[in-house]
Chains A and B, each alone.
Chain A
Amino acid sequence: MARAFRPCVLTANDLFDGAVVYLDPDGAWTRRPGAARLLEDEAEANRRLAAAAREDAIVDPYLAEAVPASDGRPKAVHVREALRATGPSNYDHGKQAGS
């Protein structure tokens, strides 16, 4: 049985440097997890995903479950997504270094 839909963000990796990107409310790709759009409608999420799969400048798009944090921004549910949103835990070489 398919799992019930949960709110999510649309995420992928950038073709040129592999960086983690998210779809933002304007339909553009952002590198800032806090600027991602929380998709709460299943049909909309799937439509966005299908469109992203045809884009050439990003790789392997998928929907990642997220919840709104206290400030309303999307927050990762899974540890994997939390790490993608910050960077590796042994060095500050990921997003935690830049922003």
Chain B
Amino acid sequence: MYRYDSFDRDFVRNRVAQFRQQVERRIDGSLTEEEFKPLRLMNGLYLQLHAYMLRVAIPYGTLDSRQMRRLAHIAERWDKGYGHFTTRQNVQFNWPRLKDVPDILDALADVEMHAIQTSGNCVRNVTADHFAGAAADEIADPRPTAELLRQWSTDHPEFAFLPRKFKIAVSGSPVDRAVTRAHDIGIRIVRIADGELGYEVAVGGGLGRTPVIGSVIRKCLPEADLLPYVESVLQVYNAIGRRDNKFKARIKFTVGEHGIEAFRDRVEERFRLQRKAFGGADRALLERIRAMFAAPAYVQAPTGGFDAALARDPVFRSFVDTNLHPHRNPDYAIVTVSLKAHGATPGDATADQMRVIADLAERYGHDEIRISHEQNCVLPHVHRRDVPAVHAALREAGLATANVGLASDIIACPGLDYCNLATARSIPIAQGIARRMKERGDEREVGDLKIRISGCVNACGHHHVGHIGILGLDRAGVENYQITLGGDGTDTAALGERTGPAFPAEDVVPAVDRLIDTYLELRSDDDEAFLATYRRVGMQPFKAALYPDSASTAGS
């Protein structure tokens, strides 16, 4: 993985020193809150419902055991003993004190981490496929590209005060696990010709209150042109993006209002100029970065222990069924550690759990950990012979929940329990559904089902792309939940369709229950997943199950 050189180290230390000075100026009154706010946001510090919240970047979701242990240390020393992993591959601490934040940032800098640009109207943490560098289906590792973009976007002088925040995701596989089409810029590595790689660039995707699937602005961008091209997109957006209405300020509205053709023309015109401003150092740096993402030194050993455990242990078998993915090296597996124990808060990990994951990565996983946008941890390189030992250790730590991809593997934003923007709670709904799935006991039979919950229209919980999406709203001070069906965040991306009137909080779990019953009745066979059944039969039977008393709804 990427290692800081003295440049990166000095940069991050210098930023901490700047922020330390800014915090002092805020406390002594020389900065007003209005002035301090964009500065603290540029350093990942929010003011939430009950306390400050520090959002720490985990660039493209990759970290090592030393970094994970440092997160555990921060959780214990300056927070309440846990951290929350987010849908943008970040980690959030919910209870830091303002004056401690510079110390926390110094502690992060010790292990080559920071909280820079995890908020504010700037280019945010660049995300990537959480199976990068390990997935069997990968064309190329997206992380060198993501790291190049991280460096380019860091402290970019023009783009710290954009009309609105700006998110970039990179995928290196034909299967899009990074939801690239739901990003301001979505980049997919493609084969151009003769082994030459390039990028397909999409702009103007996003969820939020107006979900839009991004439009392709360049089908095949040569690798060398990446930075000048992306910079041109940002310059055009900075100049013509709307600033009069924050709800129309994301680039998706700019692209929508001008049209993709006109937007592309402006970008291309700027690109001709920009291209000459980059002298080639970016390409040399990309090569250096790429070398740091070389594959680990794979162990060559028989995998017999794995097969024996599989034959012997049904609990291990079900773990393997759901939590393992194919690795490019057939002797290896990608192991997902679910942070979704039934009834737990999705994405939360205690300091002890973080240390268990760190130890396992160090001992069995070539010292690599990933955070997925699905709010789970991933050990991307585990030799198959070691999977039984990993499983046993996870079980002991309460981390062996075998539910990845199942109904209780729910994405949920922090919602109104923490977030200043939320209109309803997400966490209790997620907890309720997961507990209900455990009671039903048929989660494995139900199979692949993505439930996504957002506590407001900003859609941090990705409800638009959930097979079942749940959106919490505020109706006159009371929580209320809309349900959507048929969303899909993968390469067959689709936005969910609303079922009908919203439900009060206590009716959401029974409603999901009825949706699952309906699916089980309607599916053509055991292999037809929820989304496939929905696409085949449509909304009507699900609607009838949700609103049994409403004849008019059934007919509409």
Which of B50, B97, B474, B478 meets A16, CB within 8 Å?
B97
Q: How many Å lie between the Cα of A19 and that of B52 in the bound state?
A: 8
Tell which of B198-206, B207-215, B322-330, B424-432 binds the partner.
Answer: B424-432
* B425 and A87 form a contact (CB under 8 A): no
Per-position 1/0 for A37-63, Cβ under 8 A of B: 000000000000000000010011000
Q: Is the pair B427, A90 in contact by a Cβ cutoff of 8 Å?
A: yes
Q: B27 contacts the other chain (Cβ, under 8 Å)? A: yes
B157 contacts the other chain (Cβ, under 8 Å)? Answer: no
Residues of B within 8 A of A93 (CB): 50, 80, 94-95
Q: Taking the complex as formed, is B304 at the interface, i.e. its CB lies under 8 A from any CB of chain A?
A: no
Residues from chain A with a CB closer than 8 A to the CB of B49 are: 20, 80, 83-84, 88
B31-49 Cβ-contact flags toward A at 8 Å (1 or 0):
0010000000000000111
Name the CB-closest residue of A to B418.
A88
A56–B36 Cα gap in the complex (Å)?
12
Interface residues on A, range: 20 to 34
Q: Smallest CB-CB separation from B345: which chain A residue?
A: A90
Q: Give every chain B residue within 8 A of A84 (Cβ-Cβ).
A: 49-50
1/0 per residue, CB under 8 A from B, across A11-49: the answer is 001011111100000000000000000000000000000
Which residues of A pack against B, CB within 8 Å?
A: 13, 15-20, 56, 59-60, 77-80, 83-84, 87-91, 93-95
Chain A minimum-CB-distance residue to B49: A84
Interface of A is mostly: loop
Contact present for A18 and B50 (CB under 8 Å): yes
Question: Are A18 and B417 in contact, with the CB atoms below 8 A?
Answer: no
A20 closest partner in B (C-beta): B50
A91 to B417, CA, bound (A): 10
Partner pick for A79 among B47, B95, B427, B478, CB 8 A cutoff: B478
CB A18 to nearest CB in B, in angstroms, measures: 4
Sorted nearest first, the 3 A-B pairs with minimum C-beta distance are A88-B417, A78-B477, A18-B51
How far apart are A86's CB and chain B's nearest CB, in angstroms?
9
Contacting pair A18 B80 (CB below 8 A): no
Residues of B within 8 A of A91 (CB): 80, 345
A9 → chain B closest CB, angstroms: 15
- Would you call A79 and B474 a contact (CB within 8 A)? yes
With A16-B97, A84-B49 as contacts: A89 and B428 at CB distance below 8 Å: yes
Is B441 close to A, CB under 8 A? no
**Whole-angstrom CA separation of A77 from B478 in the bound complex:** 9
CA distance A48 to B479 in the complex (A): 30
Looking at the assembled complex, report how far the CB atom of B422 sits from the nearest CB atom of chain A, in whole angstroms: 8
User: In this assembly, does B98 line the interface, its C-beta being within 8 Å of a C-beta of chain A?
Assistant: yes
